[in-house]
A and B are shown apart, each in its own frame.
Chain A
Amino acid sequence: MNHYNPFKTVSFSMRKSLMAACLGSILSFGGASQAQEPVRIAFMDPLSGTFASIGNSGLKILEFAADYLYNSRGGILGGRMIEIVSLDNKQSPNETQLQFRRAVSEGIQIIFQGNSSAVASTLSQTISRHNRRNPGQEVLQLNYAAVDPILTEENCSFWHFRFDAHANMKLNVLTDYIAQNPEIKKMYIIGQDYSFGQVVSDTSIALLKQKRPDIEIVGNEFHPIGQVKDFTPYVTKIVSSGADAVITGNFGADMVSLARSIIDSGLDIPIYTFYAAYDGITATLGEDGKDRIRLIHNEYANPVPTEERREFNRAFKAANPNNDVTQPRIVNALQMLVTAMEQSQSTDPYDLAIALEDMRFTTLSGEEVWMRADDHQIFQGLHVSVHTDEGIEFDGDNSGFGLFTEYNVPADETIVETSCQMTRPRR
C-alpha cells in the first residue's frame, strides 16, 4: 500500500521554514549579520512507509552536519546559513517526480538523494531533461547511496555526483575477501528484485567465477522488494542447497527479516551484506548475528580512525541519542559541496559541478578521497567489517553491538574503468 500523503511533507517544510524564520529573527536581533538568504538544500528520500527509517536516519545526519559544521560556526559564503528542506519521495519514482517539481518551484538547486537506484535513475534523467530546458535554473544531484553502476557508466550525467562506491567496486573487494576463505565452497545469492539486486547477483557470479572457479553458485534468488512477509521458505531452500555462505544486497526490513530467518533456522554460515547495520537492524541481530554478519562499506567503522571523527560522532550522539552516524558519506558529500561553494564563491550548480570535478578532499576520518571528473564517481578506501560486540567504541542502536573492520582496501586499489561518455553543457 503505497499511499500519497500530501500533508506530511508540507508540515515538514513548514517546520523547516518556521525554524529558519526563528533562526533569522534571532540573528538579526543579535545584529550578528544581515539576514542573508540561506543556501537551501533538498533532502529527497523516503520519510514514510516501509523504508522510512533509513531516510530519516540520513536526514538527521545531514541536518546535524549542516548545523554542527557550518551554521553554528557562522555559516558559509560569508555568513549564509544552510537550510535543509526535507522532501518525502516514499522511495517511489513517481513521487520523486512530484517532489522534484516542488523543489524546483521553491527555487532549490541542490538535491541530496540516496535510497534506491531506481529512484536515483529517475531523478538523474529528470534533472538532465530539466537542466537542458531551463538554462540558468539547473539542479545538481548529490547521490550518497544509490550504487547501481549504471549511474556513473552508460547513464552518467554531468549533473550527478556519487559519494558512495558503486556495487561493482564493493563487490570486487567483497569477493576478494570471500576468495581468501578456503572453507567457502558453495555460495547462495539472494536479493531484492530490482536493478541493484540484479547487479549484485550478476557481478558476484562473474567475479567469483574469476577469482574462485571452485566455488559453486548453489542458488540465485530474487524476491519482490518490501513485499515478503516471511523469509523462512527462502531459508529452507538455502539450507537444502547446502550453501556455506550467503551474499545479499537487501536493505531495510528485507535485510532484518532475512537475517533473522537464517539465524532462527539454526544455519550457522557467514552472511555477506551491504546494509545489515543500524536503524534497528544491529539491535535486532544482537548476539545471534555475532561474527556471522559482514558488511562491505566505505568510510570507517570501529576502530575510529581520527579524533575529529570521534568528536563529530560524540556530538551527534549527544544531539540524537537514539540515532547513529550510519552514513558518514553524507557528511563527506556536504563538506565537499561546501568546499566547492567556497572555492567558486557561488551556489550555481554548474560552477559547483566544475569545482567538484577532480576534487581531492580530506575527510574527518583523515582519508583523502577523490571525485573522478570522467564519471563523477568518488574513490576512497573500502572495508569489510563484522557485526560484533568486541572492540566497539561506537555501537549501533545503543545495543553494544557494532561493526569492527577486518579487511581494508586503500582507495587507489578500488579504482575501476568507466564507460561513461559524459555530455558536458557549454557555458
Chain B
Amino acid sequence: MLEVLIFATLNGLVTGFLLFMLASGLTLIFSMMGVLNFAHASFYMLGAYFAYSLSLYFGFWTGLIFAPLIVGVLGALVERYGLRKVHQSGHVAELVFTFGLAFLIEEAVQFFWGRDTKNYQTPEILDFPLFTLLGQEFSAYRGFMMAISIGIFIALYYVLTKSRVGIIIQAAITHPQTVANLGHNVPLIFMGVFGVGTALAGVAGVIAGPVLTTFPGMAAVLGSIVFVIVVIGGLGSLAGAFIASLLIGLLQSYAIASDVGMPDLLDLLGLSFARDHPLNDLWTINLPQIAPVLPFLLLVLVLIFRPTGLLGKREE
C-alpha cells in the first residue's frame, strides 16, 4: 500500500504542476484584463501540435523551445488584433470572442493535423526509469516534467515579485491608469502578459503531449479543469492558483488510488441494500469511479461557502 501512496503523491504533483502552468497564465490574464480566456486550453493544444510537427524534423528539444515561442507570438497577435478591438465592446464581447476562438482553434487543428491521435513520443534520452521503488517505475520523463514545471514556477515567482517588469505588471493589474500616467505603455504590457501566458500554456502542451496523448480533444479534457482551478484558487490570485493546482492534482490522484466507496460507508453505518435496489448504482459507487468529477464538486462547494475562492480578493 505504501508504494501506492508514494506514487499517488508523485503523480498528483506532476499533474498539479502541469495544471499550474496552464492556470498561472489564465489567472494572470484574468487579473490584468478581467477577461476569462476560454481559448486558453486551446493554446495548450497548439503547443503540443506545434511541438509534434517540429519534433518530426528537428527532434523533441527544438520543439520544446520553439513551439511555446510560436504559441506565445500567436497569443500576442490574438491580443493585439483581436481582443484589444473587441475590448471596446465590453467584457461580454471579450468572453464570447475567446469562446469562439476556442472552437476555431479546435477546428483548425483538426483541419491541419487530422482527427486521429498523433504519434508524439518522449525523447529517447529520457526513455528510462528514473528510479524503481517497491516494484514500480517512475519514468525519467515525468521527473523532467516536474523539473520544468517547478523551474517555471520559480522563474515566474521571481519575475513577478522581484523584477522591475513584475512590479509594473502588478501595478498595472490594480491601477492601470496610474501606470499609464507614469509613462508606461499599458497596452504593450497587456499584450506581453497575454503572450507569455499563452506561451506557458504552450510549454505545458509540449511536455504533456507525449504522455497525455496528442489529439484534438486534449484541450476540452483539460480546459474545464483549469477553470475550476482558477475559480477555486480565487480569480486573479497566482498563489491561489498554485495551491488549487496541487490540491486538485493530489485530490484526483489519491481518489483514484483509494479503494473506498459507498459499500464501506454503509458497512460502517451497519446498513445494507439488496442488489436489485432501485438506487443500487448509488450504493455501490466508489471513490475511484467519481475521481474525475471531484474537482467540480469542490468547485461547487467553494462557490457556495467561499465565493471569492481560497485566496481571491476581487469580490470583497
Interface residues of A (CB under 8 A from B): 1, 3, 5, 48-53, 56-57, 193, 221-224, 226-230, 232-234, 236-237, 239-240, 253, 256-257, 260-261, 264-266, 279-281, 283-284, 286, 322, 397, 399
Q: Can you show 25 pairs from A to B with CB atoms below 8 A apart?
A: A1-B220, A1-B223, A3-B103, A50-B217, A52-B115, A53-B114, A221-B288, A226-B217, A227-B221, A227-B292, A228-B221, A229-B222, A230-B11, A232-B11, A232-B14, A232-B142, A233-B252, A236-B8, A237-B256, A264-B141, A264-B211, A265-B137, A265-B139, A279-B116, A280-B215
Q: Are A228 and B292 in contact (CB under 8 A)?
A: yes
> Whole-angstrom distance from the CB of B109 to the nearest CB of chain A?
11
Say yes or no: is B216 at the interface (Cβ < 8 Å to chain A).
Answer: yes
Q: Are A233 and B116 in contact (CB under 8 A)?
A: no
Expressed in whole angstroms, the Cα–Cα distance for A50 and B117 within the complex equals 10
Interface residues of B (CB under 8 A from A): 1, 3-4, 7-8, 11-12, 14-15, 103, 110, 114-119, 121-122, 129, 132, 135-137, 139, 141-142, 211-213, 215-218, 220-225, 252-253, 256-257, 288-289, 291-293
Complex: chain A residue closest to B15, CB-CB: A230
Q: Are B288 and A223 in contact (CB under 8 A)?
A: yes
> Whole-angstrom distance from the CB of A248 to the nearest CB of chain B?
15
Expressed in whole angstroms, the Cα–Cα distance for A50 and B135 within the complex equals 34
Residues from chain A with a CB closer than 8 A to the CB of B4 are 236-237, 240
Complex: chain B residue closest to A323, CB-CB: B116
- Name the one of B110, B119, B221 contacting A229, with C-beta atoms under 8 angstroms: B221
Residues from chain A with a CB closer than 8 A to the CB of B139 are 264-266
Expressed in whole angstroms, the Cα–Cα distance for A144 and B225 within the complex equals 34
> Whole-angstrom distance from the CB of A354 to the nearest CB of chain B?
38
Q: Are A257 and B256 in contact (CB under 8 A)?
A: no
Q: Are B8 and A260 in contact (CB under 8 A)?
A: no
Complex: chain B residue closest to A261, CB-CB: B211
Q: Are B136 and A226 in contact (CB under 8 A)?
A: no
Expressed in whole angstroms, the Cα–Cα distance for A1 and B38 within the complex equals 11
Question: Which of B110, B114, B212 lies at the interface centre, i.e. has the most chain A CB atoms within 10 A of its CB?
Answer: B212
Expressed in whole angstroms, the Cα–Cα distance for A228 and B220 within the complex equals 11
Residues from chain B with a CB closer than 8 A to the CB of A1 are 220, 223-224
- Name the one of B216, B221, B222 contacting A226, with C-beta atoms under 8 angstroms: B221
Expressed in whole angstroms, the Cα–Cα distance for A56 and B115 within the complex equals 8
Residues from chain B with a CB closer than 8 A to the CB of A280 are 116-119, 215
> Whole-angstrom distance from the CB of A219 to the nearest CB of chain B?
9
Q: Are A236 and B119 in contact (CB under 8 A)?
A: no
Using known A-B contacts A230-B211, A397-B119, determine if residue A223 contacts B7 with beta carbons closer than 8 Å: no
Using known A-B contacts A49-B220, A234-B256, determine if residue A253 contacts B117 with beta carbons closer than 8 Å: yes
Q: Are B115 and A239 in contact (CB under 8 A)?
A: no
Expressed in whole angstroms, the Cα–Cα distance for A142 and B221 within the complex equals 31
Q: Are A266 and B117 in contact (CB under 8 A)?
A: no
Using known A-B contacts A53-B117, A226-B221, determine if residue A233 contacts B253 with beta carbons closer than 8 Å: yes
> Whole-angstrom distance from the CB of B230 to the nearest CB of chain A?
16
Expressed in whole angstroms, the Cα–Cα distance for A281 and B222 within the complex equals 20
Expressed in whole angstroms, the Cα–Cα distance for A240 and B2 within the complex equals 10
Residues from chain A with a CB closer than 8 A to the CB of B222 are 229
Q: Are B116 and A266 in contact (CB under 8 A)?
A: no
Expressed in whole angstroms, the Cα–Cα distance for A266 and B222 within the complex equals 26
Residues from chain A with a CB closer than 8 A to the CB of B292 are 223-224, 227-228
Expressed in whole angstroms, the Cα–Cα distance for A393 and B166 within the complex equals 59
Besides A253-B221, A256-B213, 8 new A-B residue pairs in contact (Cβ under 8 A), listed by A number: A1-B220, A221-B288, A224-B289, A233-B11, A261-B211, A280-B118, A284-B119, A397-B116
Residues from chain B with a CB closer than 8 A to the CB of A264 are 122, 139, 141, 211
Using known A-B contacts A234-B256, A236-B136, A236-B257, determine if residue A229 contacts B116 with beta carbons closer than 8 Å: no
Residues from chain A with a CB closer than 8 A to the CB of B216 are 50, 52-53
> Whole-angstrom distance from the CB of B299 to the nearest CB of chain A?
15
> Whole-angstrom distance from the CB of A25 to the nearest CB of chain B?
28
Residues from chain A with a CB closer than 8 A to the CB of B224 are 1
> Whole-angstrom distance from the CB of A83 to the nearest CB of chain B?
23
Expressed in whole angstroms, the Cα–Cα distance for A230 and B209 within the complex equals 11
Question: Which of A48, A52, A233, A260 lies at the interface centre, i.e. has the most chain B CB atoms within 10 A of its CB?
Answer: A233
> Whole-angstrom distance from the CB of B281 to the nearest CB of chain A?
10
- Name the one of A5, A48, A229, A397 contacting B15, with C-beta atoms under 8 angstroms: A229
Residues from chain B with a CB closer than 8 A to the CB of A397 are 116, 119
Expressed in whole angstroms, the Cα–Cα distance for A281 and B115 within the complex equals 12
Expressed in whole angstroms, the Cα–Cα distance for A256 and B121 within the complex equals 12
Q: Are A260 and B288 in contact (CB under 8 A)?
A: no
Residues from chain B with a CB closer than 8 A to the CB of A284 are 117-119, 213
Q: Are B11 and A50 in contact (CB under 8 A)?
A: no
Complex: chain A residue closest to B288, CB-CB: A221
Complex: chain B residue closest to A222, CB-CB: B289
Residues from chain B with a CB closer than 8 A to the CB of A260 are 211, 213
> Whole-angstrom distance from the CB of B126 to the nearest CB of chain A?
11
- Name the one of B11, B115, B122 contacting A236, with C-beta atoms under 8 angstroms: B11
- Name the one of A227, A281, A322 contacting B117, with C-beta atoms under 8 angstroms: A281
> Whole-angstrom distance from the CB of A389 to the nearest CB of chain B?
14
Residues from chain A with a CB closer than 8 A to the CB of B11 are 230, 232-233, 236
Q: Are B256 and A233 in contact (CB under 8 A)?
A: yes
Expressed in whole angstroms, the Cα–Cα distance for A56 and B113 within the complex equals 14
> Whole-angstrom distance from the CB of A335 to the nearest CB of chain B?
26
Residues from chain B with a CB closer than 8 A to the CB of A224 are 289, 292-293
Expressed in whole angstroms, the Cα–Cα distance for A260 and B122 within the complex equals 11
> Whole-angstrom distance from the CB of B79 to the nearest CB of chain A?
23
Complex: chain B residue closest to A50, CB-CB: B217
Expressed in whole angstroms, the Cα–Cα distance for A253 and B213 within the complex equals 7
Using known A-B contacts A236-B8, A236-B11, determine if residue A229 contacts B212 with beta carbons closer than 8 Å: yes
Q: Are B114 and A322 in contact (CB under 8 A)?
A: yes
Complex: chain B residue closest to A221, CB-CB: B288
Residues from chain B with a CB closer than 8 A to the CB of A236 are 3-4, 7-8, 11, 136, 257
> Whole-angstrom distance from the CB of A300 to the nearest CB of chain B?
22
Expressed in whole angstroms, the Cα–Cα distance for A397 and B165 within the complex equals 48
Complex: chain A residue closest to B254, CB-CB: A233
Residues from chain A with a CB closer than 8 A to the CB of B117 are 53, 253, 256, 279-281, 283-284
Complex: chain B residue closest to A57, CB-CB: B116
> Whole-angstrom distance from the CB of A285 to the nearest CB of chain B?
9
Q: Are B15 and A53 in contact (CB under 8 A)?
A: no
Residues from chain A with a CB closer than 8 A to the CB of B118 are 280, 284
Expressed in whole angstroms, the Cα–Cα distance for A227 and B122 within the complex equals 23
Expressed in whole angstroms, the Cα–Cα distance for A52 and B216 within the complex equals 9
Expressed in whole angstroms, the Cα–Cα distance for A281 and B103 within the complex equals 25
Residues from chain A with a CB closer than 8 A to the CB of B103 are 3, 5
